[in-house]
Amino acid sequence: MNREDFPMLDKDIIYFDNGATSLKPKQVIAKMNEYYHDYSANAHRGDYDISYKVDLEYENTRDLVCEFINAKYKEEIVFTSGTTESLNMIASGFFANIVEANDEILITTSEHASNVLPWFRLAKKYGCVIKYIPLDDNLHVTLENVKKVITPRSKIIALAGITNVVGDIRPIKEITKLAHENNIFVVVDGAQSVPHLKTDVQDLDIDFLAFSSHKMLGPTGVGVLYGKKELLEELEPINLGGGMNESFDNENEVYLKDLPTRLEAGTPNISGVIGFGEAIKYLNNIGMDKIHDREMYLREYLIEKLIKIPFIDIINLEADSGIVAFNVEGIFSQDVAYYLNKYNICLRAGNHCAKILKNVTGVTNSLRVSLYFYNTEKEIDTLVELLTDKEKIEKEMI
Amino acid sequence: MDEETKREIIMEHYSNPKNRIRTNDPNYLKVNTSNSSCIDNLDIYLKIKDNIIEDIVFEGEACAISISSTSIMITNLIGKTVDEAYNYIANFEAMLNEKEYDKTLLKEALCYDNLYKQSNRKTCAFLPYKGLKEALDDYKKRG
């Protein structure tokens, strides 16, 4: 689907590492080049035409993001460098000011490091308690298991919308309902979900959402921090400086700008944000439902074939996303990845930044295929063909 | 060394690595060594007496190249002096980086002499040496 738009797909590679980063269509690349070629100026300086155009394009992306996730106000969209920065801002800029000792922060063992370490730090600094929502037999989060662990001291539930190893879609809407009934905030790490699944922050009633442009056809170095307006108002800027202050005379008289500018100090990643807008337009043109359907079709297609290979263990047989984690029995995942690399197949081996998951699954690392809509049945056939001959893998892995 | 022989050496050391055990013996210096670009992760335990490497054992999780390289390193270095070990490491590193090196020193480790062509695997082969070097430095510092 749409393969002709992706220059990287002309390079005789099979790209199955979309969970790490997606490929970029030529429209996004052209849009960024256009900024550098035709109106390369700073933002927030509308005194001359090209800077005014920068503002228009930059803010246009904010409108596109706002609509894409169905936020209520465009002020709720803050541009950051990526999911990691967004999550750190939420933990250190918002929650650091309201948590108390013994407050509980609920996460799971299958979270990405970016949705673990900021909470570890917060807990350590303020005496909070990290609790793990137990995963079921399929490594999924269920509402029942969330119910089991919440207590009157629970303050934050921080979960990925879709996890990057197991690929399960979390029942976020049900969780936020339960959480809000118990005065618990819900933070969603959308890095793996927003690029693949229609996200409606109002319907899900999420308090904070973080995601990255580069996993959804956009450039690296751009991400989004979404927060409900009344919460974002309370988020203390970590970075102070140019662009975010209204005026200052001395240390006691510093006035900051309104949202969202207040949280975007310094010259932003202008070309990145503008390119990101183009990526969203591209996704909208295809349609998120169609993208998800396509990925589910490809997943089934892959699973159906992989399952027939007796020496392949699929770790996440049940998942509603394009992530398939597996191992070749008796062969270290990285050796298999090196073998596949010889045939120009790009996929990931490792623990996928979910380093505490191994304590639960006993599987310390795996291969991971993460699909996007531009992958094809033919690519999957090539992969499966290369995995059917164990002797060949052992022979060619070194 | 022909390609088939290299392969056989690597697979033999990978399948039956020398001294792949953990130890709690306090006479061993322990270092953990890992690569930022991959998931290889090894614990290396080194026992030195009177400047002679008496024993090296290891355990961990790593790819075929890392495990075999560790096994070959252990085979080649037990019984050597600390300075001989440093010299061996320097030569091994030179080989991986296509620089001049003393072929007579490296023995079976010569099976990696083509690895420079796969730069992403150089770090795998060098991983145990990185750890060993750290342990040797530690030994020297302690005097």
The verdict on residue A214 lying in a domain is yes
Nearest Cα residue in chain A from B10: A398
Pairing, β B29-34 against β B41-49:
antiparallel
Cβ pair A368, A351 in contact under 8 A:
no
CA atoms within 13 A on the CB side of A39: 21
Nearest Cα residue in chain B from A393: B64
Domain shared by A267 and A371, yes or no: no
| Residues pairing with A251 in the sheet | none
Domain shared by A174 and A79, yes or no: yes
Provide the 10 A C-beta neighbour count for residue A307.
12
Domain shared by A124 and A58, yes or no: yes
Domain shared by A263 and A322, yes or no: no
Largest distance between two CA atoms of chain B: 44
Domain shared by A275 and A295, yes or no: no
Task: Tell me what the mean pLDDT of segment B22-49 comes to.
Answer: 91
* Per-residue pLDDT, A39: 96
* Per-residue pLDDT, A358: 64
* Per-residue pLDDT, A164: 85
Provide the 10 A C-beta neighbour count for residue A251.
6
Select the more confidently predicted residue: B1 or A285.
A285
* Per-residue pLDDT, A145: 97
Q: Is A346 a catalytic residue?
A: no
* Per-residue pLDDT, A29: 98
Going by the DSSP 8-state scheme, the letter that residue A4 receives in this structure is: G
Separation between Cα atoms, residue B53 and residue A157, nearest integer Å: 52
Question: Taking the alpha carbons of A386, A387, A388, A391 in that order, is the dihedral positive or negative?
Answer: positive
Domain shared by A322 and A347, yes or no: yes
Whole-number percent of chain B with pLDDT over 90: 83
Cβ pair B8, B108 in contact under 8 A:
no
Which residue among A66, A128, A346, A353 is the active-site one? A353
The verdict on residue A111 lying in a domain is yes
Q: Who contacts A210 (Cβ-Cβ below 8 Å, separation ≥6)?
A: A80, A83, A86, A87, A90, A187, A188, A189, A190, A191, A223, A224, A225, A226
* Per-residue pLDDT, B90: 96
- Residue B120 pLDDT grade (very low, low, confident, very high; cuts 50, 70, 90): confident
Domain shared by A101 and A89, yes or no: yes
Min Cα distance B36 → chain A (Å) is 11
* Per-residue pLDDT, A364: 72
Average pLDDT, chain B: 93
Domain shared by A139 and A272, yes or no: yes
Q: Do B63 and A364 touch (CB under 8 A)?
A: no
The verdict on residue A306 lying in a domain is yes
Q: Do B39 and A397 touch (CB under 8 A)?
A: no
- The CATH code of the domain that includes A246 is 3.40.640.10
User: Is the confidence at residue B26, as pLDDT, over 90?
Assistant: yes
When scoring A327, A328, A331, A335 by the number of chain B Cβ atoms within 10 A, the one with the most, hence best to mutate, is A335
- The CATH code of the domain that includes A294 is 3.90.1150.10
Q: Do B7 and A398 touch (CB under 8 A)?
A: yes
* Per-residue pLDDT, A357: 66
| Residues of chain A where predicted confidence (pLDDT) is lower than 70 | 352-363
* Per-residue pLDDT, A354: 59
Where helices occur in A41-82 by DSSP H, the ranges are: 49-68
* Per-residue pLDDT, A78: 98
Of A285, A306, A340, which one is at a domain's C-terminal end? A285
- H or E segment to which residue B12 belongs: helix B3-15
Of A267, A285, A303, which one is at a domain's C-terminal end? A285
* Per-residue pLDDT, B110: 94
Burial A117-134 (b: 16+ CB within 10 A, else e): bbbeebbeebebebbbbe
Of A285, A312, A334, which one is at a domain's C-terminal end? A285
Cβ pair A77, A224 in contact under 8 A:
yes
Select the more confidently predicted residue: B138 or A380.
A380
Q: Which two tokens stand for residue A300?
A: 């089934």
Taking the Cβ of residue A391 and every Cβ of chain B, the question of whether any pair is shorter than 8 Å is answered with no
Enumerate domains of chain B plus CATH numbers: 3-142 (3.90.1010.10)
Q: Among A367, A335, A322, which Cα is nearest to A349's?
A: A367
The verdict on residue A198 lying in a domain is yes
Min Cα distance B70 → chain A (Å) is 15
The verdict on residue A14 lying in a domain is no
The verdict on residue A362 lying in a domain is yes
Q: Who contacts A215 (Cβ-Cβ below 8 Å, separation ≥6)?
A: A18, A19, A20, A21, A22, A191, A192, A195
Average pLDDT, chain A: 94
Chain A / chain B CB contacts < 8 angstroms: 35
Domain shared by A211 and A298, yes or no: no
Pairing, β A245-248 against β A254-256:
antiparallel
| Structural domain count, chain A | 2
Taking the Cβ of residue A351 and every Cβ of chain B, the question of whether any pair is shorter than 8 Å is answered with yes
* Per-residue pLDDT, B36: 78
Domain shared by A325 and A250, yes or no: no
Min Cα distance B52 → chain A (Å) is 33
Taking the Cβ of residue A126 and every Cβ of chain B, the question of whether any pair is shorter than 8 Å is answered with no
Contacts of A397 in chain B (CB under 8 A): 64
Domain shared by A280 and A301, yes or no: no
Task: Name the percent of chain B in helix, strand, coil, to the closest 5.
Answer: 55, 20, 25
Range of the domain at A320: 288-396
Interface pTM, i.e. ipTM: 0.82
The verdict on residue A2 lying in a domain is no
Cβ pair B68, B13 in contact under 8 A:
yes
Separation between Cα atoms, residue A214 and residue A25, nearest integer Å: 11
Provide the 10 A C-beta neighbour count for residue A234.
11
The verdict on residue A127 lying in a domain is yes
Domain shared by A107 and A238, yes or no: yes
